[in-house]
Amino acid sequence: MAVMDGRYADGSSGKRIKPNLSMLQIINMSMGFLGIQMAFGLQNGNASRILANLGADVHELSWFWLVAPITGLIVQPIIGHMGDNTWSPLGRRKPYFLIGAVLCAIGLVLLPNAASVTQMFAANALLLAVIFLAMMDASVNIAMEPFRALVGDMLPKHQGTIGFSVQTILIGIGAVLGSYLPDWLTKLGISNEAPKGFVADNVIYSFYVGAALLIISILYTIIMTREYSPQEFAEFEDGKEAELEKSKFSDIFKDFATIPVQMKKLGIVQFFSWFALFTMWVFTTSALATHHMGLSPEDTHSKAFNDAGDLTGKLFGMYNLWAIPFAFLLTPIAKWIGKKQTHALALLCGGLGLISMYFIKDVNNLWVSMIGLGFAWASILAMPYAMLIEVIPQRKMGVYMGIFNFFIVIPQIINGLFGGPIVSGVFGKQAMDYVVVGGICMLIGAVVTMIFVKSDNETPKEIEEEIKQVHF
């Protein structure tokens, strides 16, 4: 378990300075994100496929996916506020890691088995699948938000970029594992064909593996990381004694009303970025099935459709794989051109990547599109948060991280409400056309970043320190 000693600004008394953490300490405190993202990767790559297997039409998919952003909208600010006002023998953020991991693991087991559960309780399989999906999303949000806040809690601000970059690397590894698992199991001889009304075995067993690794990775972080005490946080803040405030739900609304201007501007960028990501996650399987494989939009059970589902998982794994080296490059690039310019460049590449999927006819060449998306994904997971922690107070780290999630889930809710009808009514159920719309939104996000977001004011020395930290 890591032990961290700070120092005081004047060498003896006054405001205490957070100590730099080693690369191993940063990895240990974010290891649980690997398991969380493996679960997230399994969900992103297979939720639409599972829902289609259980009878959902293409225009309904975005509606069912609404459960993810809605649960995030509700859960993350509440969990952030509770975390800011919690101290237990287990820690400040770690209790929420554990609760979220256990609930998510249960959801991972139940979601692909919705049809079997239906036979036991005489319920509607599709309805149960949506309920289990909501359970997964709520629990992922319970676990995910504290991990974001933990970086702000534990690291000095000049290590913020490296902290979120390490999270991005672990997110990439977890997502690659989750995205590729169904295809790997298929190659091992496990069937990827889904009987009508049921989910393929390769998907079911992948979710079992994801549940086990999620629990293991979360427990590793809990065991290997020591959180600061309330007294230490008080010393980092202003040298005063810790004052434990009683948690009040109404405080969330007060905090929302006083969010920093920089957060609002970053929120606009997040809107366009996550609108595009949601489009990709929901519609890629249908887009590949119709645009590249020539299937009817009504074909949701054939081997060819499930092959499209496997390919979606592989492509999602590819962009997450590309995100790993880009996560290492974020800090050097930011030193060279600035954080805001780096993020704009990444979104530009991501937008072009999504649009290129329409023009690349050979599915074997779609990996090219994933390079740009990998750059965008790495930056989306790191840069907005690295710029955000510079302007929010330590004592409000959790709740503001939760409120920042509003700018992630609102575009997903809007997309979820209108995306399906647009695909069905405007594009004739040709989902690839809507994927192009997502790419255009990401390009808009790049433009907004350059116009509205305030440039960071880090000194070259501070950025140089980040570069030293990013190299193992």
**Stretch 392-400: mean pLDDT, rounded?**
65
Of the listed ranges 79-93, 237-251, 279-293, 341-355, the least confidently predicted one is 237-251
Q: What is the pLDDT of residues 198-234, one digit of tens each?
A: 788 888 899 999 999 999 999 998 888 887 777 776 6
**Stretch 118-132: mean pLDDT, rounded?**
70
Q: What is the pLDDT of residue 402?
A: 67
| Both tokens assigned to 428 | 């004739």
Question: For residue 315, which of 349, 288, 275, 342 has the smallest C-alpha distance?
Answer: 288
3-class DSSP state of 415:
helix
Domain covering 21-227+256-470: architecture? Up-down Bundle (1.20)
Positive/negative CA dihedral, 84, 108, 207, 295: negative
pLDDT beyond 70 at 169: yes
Question: Would you say the pTM of this structure is higher than 0.75?
Answer: no
Q: What is the pLDDT of residue 276?
A: 95
Question: For residue 314, which of 438, 436, 181 has the smallest C-alpha distance?
Answer: 181
**Stretch 271-286: mean pLDDT, rounded?**
92
Rg (CA), the chain: 22
| Both tokens assigned to 268 | 């606009």
- Cβ-based neighbours of 127, under 8 Å, separated by 6 or more: none
User: Among the ranges 23-32, 229-238, 271-280, which has the highest mean pLDDT value?
Assistant: 271-280
Q: What is the pLDDT of residue 395?
A: 63
Question: For residue 178, which of 314, 285, 65, 381 has the smallest C-alpha distance?
Answer: 314
Write down the mean pLDDT value for the chain. 79
Q: What is the pLDDT of residue 271?
A: 93
Domain ranges in the chain are: 21-227+256-470
What pLDDT band is residue 274 in, cutting at 50, 70 and 90?
Answer: very high
3-class DSSP state of 214:
helix
**Is 330 buried (19+), middle (13-18) or exposed (0-12) by CB count in 10 A?**
buried
Q: What is the pLDDT of residue 119?
A: 62
3-class DSSP state of 46:
helix
Q: What is the pLDDT of residue 468?
A: 40
Q: What is the pLDDT of residues 294-344, one digit of tens each?
A: 888 888 777 888 888 888 888 988 998 898 888 788 878 888 888 889 999
Higher-pLDDT residue of 140, 425: 425
pLDDT beyond 60 at 247: no
What pLDDT band is residue 440 in, cutting at 50, 70 and 90?
Answer: very high
pLDDT beyond 70 at 249: no
| Beta carbons of 205 and 113 less than 8 angstroms apart | no
| Beta carbons of 465 and 388 less than 8 angstroms apart | no
Higher-pLDDT residue of 432, 98: 432
